[in-house]
Amino acid sequence: MAEIKYDIKKNLGSLGESSKGWSKELNIISWNERSPKIDIRDWDENKTKMGKGVTLTKKELLELKKILNEIDFDTLDLD
């Protein structure tokens, strides 16, 4: 398997922590020396191991923001 290169350009915030101590983070990351994208995924405390995540372009992030702004979270049956 080919090595995956990544460069965390900016940490935008932490969304929470798992029971094993990993942090779910919102970051701007360059993957394999490509243009940076928005990324949401779990990271270990040293940023050497990562979980599966979601990578979004700026356009996709803006669409997600629009959708989230339209949701009435009080009506959802969520924890």
Amino acid, single-letter form, for residue 55: T
Q: What is the pLDDT of residue 69?
A: 96
Residue 21: its pLDDT value, please?
92
Is position 78 within any domain? Answer: no
Residues of the chain where predicted confidence (pLDDT) is lower than 70: none
Nearest alpha carbon to residue 29 among 16, 45, 47, 17? 47
Is 77 inside any structural domain? no
CATH number of the domain enclosing 31: 2.30.31.70
Predicted pLDDT at 31: 96
The domain total for the chain is: 1
35 belongs to a structural domain: yes
Residue 12 lies in domain: 6-71
**C-beta atoms surrounding 75 within 10 Å:** 7
pLDDT of residue 43: 97
Q: Is residue 22 part of a domain?
A: yes
> Does residue 17 form part of some domain?
yes
